[in-house]
């Protein structure tokens, strides 16, 4: 048997032997470690890290989740309660998150291929695969979507622009492109998939809308296209056919706007009380104010060129069917002369201002005339002898000064001059009647005397 003294000595030897052969982790580091060495435990409990005797981190026994700043296991591999700071970009499930390469500051990059060529461009926000991919020095941009503002190598210095939507592009500074495939140029706005406002200061709003003619073109509506200089198009499917056109309406027959009200202060209720087209400026405020003037002007010509005309057109009825009626000019205002034609476009004669086809019906007509034939009653007026008048009438088949039938058919009748001529003839006829009455009275007087003398002689 082993005595107590020998047992105590054996126990001390074993303890010293274990202490000599056991490996512990030193605060200054260990050497001679192998891949089988580890820090942790072999028990089914969490591994806890403490400082100042306070828990700072924990690795759970179930799943090996790392918890920082919390003891609540929510099932995430990394669960942090508190702020996270990194001086380098990071990837989450293959998606890059950071500021991108280069020396730029205040940038946000989320997505693979984002801002990969950026050098000094600052204050950019790019979200989506290859967003702002080719940007190098551009700044103050916002690009959201796959290849948003990142599909063209020429767009390396775009600034102050916004591209939202997959494949959206901005090819000039301060442009806005919103929609899949939308493209905006310098100072331009494109909204819709895929809308195009590729020229400077243009606007395209609507699916497949296009403003590409020249500076300042505008296209609003699905498939609206302003493809010529200065064009403005508002409506579905309309397209300019020449420069400086304004088109408002709808390409589809029967699907366009029926009532148009242009003016201030209009409401839905008020508009319904007016006609299909009403143009009314905003009314004045205050008491006894004069209303505004509406001005409709023709286009100006240049040099010796004439100005344009204004046509008021109405539809021409068809016999039947649902095909749209054709339109024709009901009234024209000739720009070069100011002549007005109603029911006719033949207004070239500059001696007249108003041309009317098929007659005028009115209650009152007043004609300004500078000369009126009261001179017929002047004692110095020489009245034409009836014998001479008879000879003239038999030869010419009309009265003197009165236009012939052929002249009237060819040139018409001047209403004022004709009235004056007819009055002159009436006055001349009146003088002839007065003269004839005098002769009749003289004959009656002479006849009376003769009758009395005959009666005396019979006795």
Q: What is the DSSP string of 137-192?
A: S--S-EEESTTTT-S-TT-SS--S-EEESTT-EE-STT-EEESTT-EE-TT-EEES
Contact (Cβ atoms closer than 8 angstroms) between residue 345 and residue 329: yes
Backbone Cα Rg of the chain: 52
Question: Residue 245's Cα: distance from chain center in Å?
Answer: 12
What is the pLDDT, as a whole number, of residue 359? 87
Domain residue spans of the chain: 328-361, 373-458
What span, in angstroms and rounded, lies between the C-alpha atoms of 172 and 121?
15
What is the pLDDT, as a whole number, of residue 41? 87
What is the pLDDT, as a whole number, of residue 39? 85
- Which segments of the chain have a pLDDT < 50? 1-21
What is the pLDDT, as a whole number, of residue 20? 42
**Cα four-point dihedral sign 169, 174, 179, 185:** negative
Q: For residue 131, with 0-12 CB atoms within 10 Å meaning exposed, 13-18 middle and 19 or more buried, which class applies? A: buried
Take residue 343 and report the two structure tokens written for it: 């029911």
What is the pLDDT, as a whole number, of residue 1? 45
What is the pLDDT, as a whole number, of residue 258? 61
Contact (Cβ atoms closer than 8 angstroms) between residue 111 and residue 131: yes
What is the pLDDT, as a whole number, of residue 256? 59
Contact (Cβ atoms closer than 8 angstroms) between residue 189 and residue 211: no
Contact (Cβ atoms closer than 8 angstroms) between residue 181 and residue 192: no
């Amino acid at each position: 048997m082993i005595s107590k003294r020998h047992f105590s000595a054996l126990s001390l030897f074993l303890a010293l032997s274990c202490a000599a052969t056991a490996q512990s982790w030193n605060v200054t580091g260990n050497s001679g470690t192998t891949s089988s060495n580890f820090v942790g435990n072999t028990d089914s409990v969490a591994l806890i890290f403490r400082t100042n005797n306070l828990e700072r981190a924990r690795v759970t026994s179930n799943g090996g989740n790392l918890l920082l700043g919390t003891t609540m296991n929510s099932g995430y591999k990394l669960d942090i309660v508190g702020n996270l700071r990194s001086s380098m970009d990071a990837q989450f499930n293959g998606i890059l998150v950071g500021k991108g390469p280069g020396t730029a500051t205040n940038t946000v990059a989320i997505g693979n291929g984002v801002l990969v060529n950026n050098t000094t461009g600052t204050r950019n926000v790019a979200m989506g695969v290859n967003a702002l991919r080719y940007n190098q020095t551009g700044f103050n941009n916002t690009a959201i979507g796959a290849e948003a503002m990142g599909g063209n190598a020429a767009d390396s210095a775009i600034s102050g622009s916004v591209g939202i939507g997959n494949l959206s592009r901005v090819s000039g500074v301060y442009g806005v492109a919103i929609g899949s495939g939308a493209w905006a140029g310098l100072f331009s706005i494109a909204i819709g998939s895929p809308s195009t406002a590729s020229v400077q200061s243009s606007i395209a709003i609507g699916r497949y809308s296009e403003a590409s003619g020249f500076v300042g073109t505008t296209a609003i509506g699905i498939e609206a296209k302003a493809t010529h200089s200065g064009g403005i198009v508002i409506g579905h499917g309309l397209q300019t056919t020449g420069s400086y056109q304004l088109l408002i309406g709808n390409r589809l027959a029967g699907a366009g706007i029926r009532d148009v009200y242009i003016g201030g202060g209009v409401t839905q209720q008020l508009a319904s009380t007016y006609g299909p087209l009403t143009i009314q400026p905003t009314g004045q405020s205050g008491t006894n104010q004069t209303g505004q003037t509406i001005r409709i002007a023709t286009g100006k010509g240049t040099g010796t060129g004439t100005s344009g005309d204004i046509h008021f057109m109405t539809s021409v009825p068809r016999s039947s069917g649902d095909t749209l009626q054709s339109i024709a000019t009901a009234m024209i205002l000739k720009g070069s002369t100011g002549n007005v034609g109603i029911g006719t476009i033949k207004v070239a004669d500059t001696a007249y201002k108003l041309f009317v086809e098929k007659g005028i019906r009115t209650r009152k007509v007043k004609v300004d005339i500078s000369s009126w034939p009261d001179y017929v009653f002047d004692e110095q007026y020489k009245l034409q002898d009836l014998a001479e008048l008879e000879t003239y009438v038999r030869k010419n088949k009309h009265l003197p000064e009165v236009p012939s039938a052929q002249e009237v058919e060819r040139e018409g009748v001047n209403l004022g001059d004709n009235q004056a001529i007819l009055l002159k003839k009436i006055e001349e006829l009146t003088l002839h009647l007065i003269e004839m009455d005098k002769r009749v009275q003289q004959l009656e007087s002479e006849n009376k005397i003769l009758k009395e003398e005959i009666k005396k002689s019979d006795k």
